[in-house]
Chains A and B, each alone.
Chain A
Amino acid sequence: MRETARAAASSLLVLAVGVLLLLALPRLLDLHALINATIFASLAILALSLAFVWGFAGILSFGQAAFFGMGGYTYAVAGINLGDTTGAIALGILVPALFAALLGYFMFWGRISDVYLGVITLTVSLILFRLLNGTAGDAWRIGDAPLGGFNGIPQTPGINWPGRPGEALTPDGVFYLAMALVLLVYFGCRALLASRFGRVMVAIRENERRAELLGYDARRYKLGAFAIGGGIAGLAGILFANCVFVSPTMFSLNYSAQIIIWVIVGGVGTLLGPLAGCVLVQLVTTSLGSAGWLNANLMLGLILIGFVVLAPSGLAPLPVTAARSLRRLFPGARA
């Protein structure tokens, strides 16, 4: 009973903060900052996808960037060919999800262990990165859309109103959409975790053999979770493609690494932590990066090493420990 009440309270709080941001930011920020905020929102969805796959299904995917990039590319190519972006969005979610399912089939039915999984997913995104880098020239086009190799597809179309091609959303509109989708994905993940599927998934994370002995086919649940995670990452890619445009860097090691870092910094096994970690790390890297103070890779590397060695559970336990030490400081107050 108390658990449910607490869950309801935290959902309301997240919802309130989310809606507040959604309504307030377009009024407070100028256009450039608003587009940046939209990028952050798309990356936050990406962070959620790994938080879900890694934190709750126990699948250490280093390749979320692959699905992220694939979503963006599918959206751009389909958008250029179809003219209308509504179908392109659906494809941009479906294609990475299916690709994740295919990859997952080989990995989960081969029963390879966690670490191999990490290596394989990482390799897939690296190979895709090299593949798309090599697609310069006229030989590489899908329908009307040239893949553009290293340069990507600068003419990535903006999202338009469903059924009304040519009527693209304003930057404000894209921001509203992105923020709304962050909330939708967040609550979608929570609902999924509260469902039977989600609970079996967590049980498998806790003890795969025990879950299998109870009659659950772990491979199917993992495959499902992995595919869902791929779809979410694809959605993030679509939004990202809208703010910037698609290029092979979406598949790069940099993105793969950053996603992991967001989740580690925020805390594995939570959804809010990686969201916060994403925004935090992005703010730090962009501000320090633009100051040219430190090489971004060097910094990301040090953050990663630091958290793994010193704070493996991330920042998520921080509020709890803070509350505890406050209570120790003021023993009279009851929390």
Chain B
Amino acid sequence: MASLTLISMGLAVIFGMMRVINLAHGEFLMLGGYAAIVAYNAGMNIWPAMLVVAPLVVGVFGVVMERVLIRRLYGRMVDTMLASWGLSLALIGSVTVVFGNTVSGISAPLGAIRIGRYSTSAYEVLLVGIVGVLLGGGYLVLSRTRLGLIARGTMQNAPMAAALGVSPPAVYAVTFGVGAALTGLAGGLLAPLSGVVPTIGVAYIAKAFITVISGGAAILLGTLSAAALLGSINTATTFLTTPVLGEVALLAAAIVLLRLLPQGITGRFFRRSL
């Protein structure tokens, strides 16, 4: 569930706030993973490699992509989606050329925690903590700071924001960059758990989109509640049967959910939340 939230957060920012469907989301994750691994192999400590290098690289990449590609297509949702899909394929292709079609990985830091008879990887516990910090921080930034106010205002009514002296293109670029950086961070953090291959984005993107869409309009709470619901369905089914059937159950649940709540969870409940 924590990982479901983690992979969906960057997408929630880009899609939930900007209404841009970024099908290259999975590849942003993949780039984050590679950035962390390359930095680590270059002799950097694993923590800055995952927590600083990965989001920074992908964030900058995101801003550049927003400037040269996505910006031309605002308001044309379908075209944006197609162009970002092209970007996704191109990224898979170029990374395959550079790194080869093999799994690169780093081992997870920290050992195991024991609680009585049960033990779990301390790293995964840490991930839950990081997700909590990101969600809390995101909430504070969006609701309490001037930056968050400007971002939300621009998304709600760009011409009005422009009339008040805000530059919407700059806000879009920054928001896209932040979303990309969050995605890169997720990619870096997940690299030790799953390893990285050029095509790894495919494994994530379906889940991330389903989570964000099921979550609905509120980017933080929606993502969190959808991740909680779908994550438990996935885990329970996986526990009872196989991981693959767990994913199928996740998808089926999401499709049924969309039939019942077309606006997502936060379209019906917790409407006024962030």
Q: Which residues of A contact B (CB under 8 A)?
A: 60, 103, 106-107, 109-112, 114-116, 118-120, 122-124, 126-127, 130-131, 133-134, 253, 257, 260, 264, 294-306, 308-309, 312
Contacts and interface: CB of A to CB of B under 8 A. Distances in A.
Given A110-B258, A301-B90, A309-B72, A131 B248 contact: yes
5 contacts: A114-B77, A119-B213, A298-B89, A298-B96, A300-B86
Contacts of A130: 203, 244, 247
A126 B210 contact: no
B92 interface: yes
A3 B113 CA distance: 76
B154 to A, nearest CB: 21
Given A116-B213, A260-B85, A127 B206 contact: yes
A184 B82 CA distance: 30
**Top 7 closest A-B pairs, CB basis?**
A298-B93, A301-B90, A304-B86, A301-B89, A297-B93, A305-B86, A134-B244
B93 A301 contact: yes
Nearest to A60: B78
B262 interface: yes
A124 B21 CA distance: 17
A133 B202 CA distance: 14
A296 B21 CA distance: 24
**Chain B facing A: main interface SS:** helix
Contacts of B258: 106-107, 110, 112, 116, 120
Given A106-B259, A127-B206, A134-B242, A308 B82 contact: yes
B109 to A, nearest CB: 29
B12 to A, nearest CB: 14
Contacts of A106: 255-256, 258-259
Interface residues of B, number: 44
A120 B85 CA distance: 15
Contacts of A303: 86
Given A119-B21, A298-B94, A305-B83, A253 B78 contact: no
A302 B86 CA distance: 6
Nearest to A258: B89
B126 interface: no
Contacts of B89: 257, 297-298, 300-301, 304
Interface string B172-212: 00000000000000000000000000000011011001100
Contacts of B256: 106
Contact of B251 (A111, A112, A127, A309): A127
B15 to A, nearest CB: 9
Contacts of B79: 308, 312
Given A260-B82, A304-B82, 9 more contacts: A110-B258, A115-B78, A116-B258, A118-B78, A131-B245, A298-B96, A301-B89, A305-B69, A309-B72
